[in-house]
């Protein structure tokens, strides 16, 4: 006969208690330890400052007679270019965590870490904060030393503004690994370097202004389009700046980098290809087609029935080729590659009429007559080897580009005789 041994209740209770009081475990390792800015400090009213030197330029945006230049992660410089040969910095808007911007009417829309800030620029010399919408954007992290893992992030402390690499000890809640624990967080690709990376975007006209080919914010109709992380598209109804509302917040695809809007369609540059979205219902875009290419960073601009895409190797996108691709987009549901050309480290690009501008990083900037899309590289009209060029905005015969020593301004009214007419200096601290 089988005997069943029954333990006294008090023994079972003590056993369970001891099991639940197991010593806490800690792990010490060298890590990127976050430095925080509290939400209270982040959300202090934006107070414009007197003009200051540009030191770490990022995105650029053109509106009327002004160019807005992002000071990476810090704010925006307002530059009067009514005389392109003598540009003047007239004001500075300090906005912590700012990377992207867009304009509609007299409102400048800026990201500020997790918040969207609306600035009234009806008087560009004295911009005023109109409103702020908190927690509308993704919680993102600034660049960090990839040789070390990230320490645990506490979002309750505020936003992460930087890192200190040092020995770090923290409690762990599972059995420790042989090496440090790498905590995973969503990363915004727009924040991954001090300069903007590939992709395209512009929305021309006195109402909306024009962005560079690196844009991740654009305005169209009564809406603001925002790329978040590397896969999400958010759409905000800005018909009334006092009541901004998100109308669309969805996964679109992987590796999204930049956007370009042209004649009712949005073109998203992504690491795996180019997405075409219809804006027939501007509050709810839908994908009509995906043109796929090798994995790479890819800015895109559009003119007529052609899209121009640059692919760059040797970067965090995993690219293995340096190319310019020309894509027939006359059928928005079936884009087709019609030509491909070898390039030297291509970055941002711009198209004006049949004049195609391609930035090539340390290799300068090259300009082509793209009238014949099947023979673009046979029709080089200009080359600038003495600058480091990463992005351009061509508009009304004036070209803005970032180069060694600052932003360079060119007159391209005669594409065969492009002339530099002005400079906006950058103090790199060298």
Looking at CATH, the fold of the domain delimited by 41-138+191-425 is given as Methylamine Dehydrogenase; Chain H (2.130.10)
Strand, coil or helix: what is 11? helix
Asked if pLDDT for residue 60 goes beyond 70, the answer is yes
User: How is the chain split among helix, strand and coil, in percent rounded to 5?
Assistant: 5, 45, 45
Per the CB < 8 A criterion, the answer to whether 63 and 153 are in contact is no
Q: What is the DSSP string of 129-157?
A: EEEEETT-S--------TTSPBPPP-GGG
Using the Cα atoms of residue 20, residue 26, residue 31 and residue 37 in order, give the sign of their dihedral.
Answer: positive
> How much of the chain exceeds pLDDT 90, in percent?
57
| pLDDT for position 295 | 59
Is residue 260 predicted with pLDDT exceeding 60? yes
Give the pairing of strands 323-328 and 107-112.
unpaired
Q: Among 245-249, 313-317, 379-383, 426-430, which is the least confidently predicted range?
A: 313-317
Q: Nearest Cα to 391, choosing from 190, 194, 198, 191?
A: 198
**How many whole angstroms separate alpha carbon 395 and alpha carbon 411?**
10
What pLDDT shows up at residue 258?
Answer: 87
Q: What is the pLDDT of residue 337?
A: 95
| Backbone torsions φ then ψ of 50, nearest 5 degrees | -65, 160
pTM of the full structure: 0.84
Task: Measure the CA–CA gap between 288 and 280, rounded to whole angstroms.
Answer: 11
Q: How far from each other are the two terminal CA atoms of the chain, in whole angstroms?
A: 90
Task: Rounding to the nearest 10 degrees, give the CA dihedral for residues 197, 198, 203, 208.
Answer: 0
Which residues are CB-neighbours of 177 under 8 A, at least 6 positions away? Answer: none
Task: Please report the pLDDT score of residue 198 as a whole number.
Answer: 30
CA–CA separation, 59 vs 246, rounded Å?
Answer: 24
| CA 289/CA 266 separation, integer angstroms | 11
pLDDT per residue over 321-337, tens digit each? 788 999 999 999 999 99
Q: How many helices (H) and strands (E) does the chain have?
A: 2, 31
How far from the centroid of its chain's Cα atoms is residue 370's Cα?
27
Distance separating alpha carbons of residues 169 and 148, to the nearest angstrom: 14
Q: What is the mean pLDDT of residues 155-170?
A: 93
CA nearest 317: which of 270, 349, 364?
A: 270
Residue 65 contacts residue 409 (beta carbons within 8 Å): no
Per-residue pLDDT band at 201 (split at 50, 70, 90):
very low
Mean pLDDT of the chain: 84
Q: What is the mean pLDDT of the segment spanning 214-221?
A: 90
Q: What pLDDT score was predicted for residue 296?
A: 59
Give the model's pLDDT for residue 173: 63
Whole-angstrom distance, CA of residue 347 vs CA of residue 13: 67
Of the candidates 134, 91, 128, 99, the one whose C-alpha atom is nearest the C-alpha of residue 116 is 134
Q: How far apart are CA 113 and CA 134, in angstroms?
A: 9
Question: Which pair of tokens denotes residue 396?
Answer: 């009304």
Tokens of 256: 């999204």
Return the pLDDT at 208. 53
Contacts of 403 (CB under 8 A, 6+ apart): 365, 384, 387, 388, 389
What pLDDT does residue 317 have? 52
What is the pLDDT, as a whole number, of residue 351? 94
Show the tokens assigned to 164: 């200190």
pLDDT tens, residue by residue, 93-127: 999 999 999 999 999 999 999 999 999 999 999 99
Task: Calculate the CA 372 to chain-centre distance.
Answer: 31
Q: Tell me, what's the pLDDT at 1?
A: 46
Q: What percent of the chain has pLDDT above 70?
A: 82
The predicted model gives 352-378 an average pLDDT of 94
Contact indicator for 60, 87 with CB cutoff of 8 Å: no
Amino acid 187: pLDDT: 34
The better pLDDT of the pair 214, 390 is held by 390
What pLDDT is stored for residue 331 in this prediction? 98
Average pLDDT over every residue of 232-253: 92
What DSSP designation does 219 have?
A: E
Q: What is the pLDDT of residue 8?
A: 54
| 190 phi/psi in degrees, rounded to 5 | -65, -15
């Amino acid at each position: 006969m089988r005997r069943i041994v029954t333990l006294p209740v008090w023994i079972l209770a003590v056993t369970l208690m001891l099991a639940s009081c197991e010593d806490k475990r800690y792990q010490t390792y060298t890590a990127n330890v976050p430095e925080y800015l509290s939400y209270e400090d982040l959300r202090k009213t934006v107070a414009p400052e007197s003009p200051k030197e540009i030191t770490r330029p990022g995105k650029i945006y053109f509106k009327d007679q002004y160019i807005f230049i992002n000071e990476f992660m810090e704010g925006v410089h307002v530059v009067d270019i009514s005389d392109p040969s003598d540009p003047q910095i007239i004001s500075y808007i300090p906005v912590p965590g700012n990377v992207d911007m867009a304009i509609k009417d007299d409102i400048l829309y800026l990201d500020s870490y997790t918040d969207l800030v609306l600035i009234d620029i009806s008087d560009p010399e004295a911009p005023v904060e109109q409103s702020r919408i908190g927690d509308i954007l993704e919680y993102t992290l600034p660049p960090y030393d990839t040789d070390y893992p990230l320490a645990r992030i506490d979002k309750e402390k505020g936003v992460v503004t930087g890192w200190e690499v040092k020995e770090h000890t923290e409690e762990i809640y599972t059995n420790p690994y042989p090496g440090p624990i790498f905590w995973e967080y969503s990363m915004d690709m727009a924040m991954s370097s001090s300069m903007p990376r590939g992709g395209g975007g512009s929305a021309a006209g006195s109402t909306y202004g024009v962005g560079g080919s690196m844009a991740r914010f654009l305005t169209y109709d009564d809406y603001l389009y925002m790329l978040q992380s590397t896969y999400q598209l958010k759409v905000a109804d800005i018909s009334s700046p006092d009541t901004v509302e998100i109308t669309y917040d969805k996964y679109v695809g992987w590796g999204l980098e930049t956007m370009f809007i042209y004649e009712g369609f949005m073109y998203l540059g992504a690491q795996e290809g180019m997405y075409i979205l219809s804006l027939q219902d501007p509050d709810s875009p839908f994908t009509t087609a995906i043109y796929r290419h090798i994995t790479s960073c890819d800015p895109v601009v559009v003119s007529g029935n052609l899209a121009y895409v640059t692919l760059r190797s040797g970067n965090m996108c995993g690219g293995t080729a340096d190319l310019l691709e020309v894509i027939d987009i006359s059928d928005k549901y079936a884009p087709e590659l019609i030509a491909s050309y070898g390039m030297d480290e291509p970055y941002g690009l711009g198209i004006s009429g049949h004049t195609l501008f391609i930035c090539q990083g340390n290799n300068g900037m090259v300009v082509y007559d793209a009238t014949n899309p099947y023979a673009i590289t046979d029709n080089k009209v200009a080359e600038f080897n003495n600058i480091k060029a990463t992005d351009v905005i061509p508009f009304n015969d004036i070209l803005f580009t970032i180069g060694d020593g600052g932003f360079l301004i060119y007159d391209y009214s005669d594409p065969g005789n492009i002339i530099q007419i002005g400079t906006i200096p950058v103090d790199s601290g060298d």
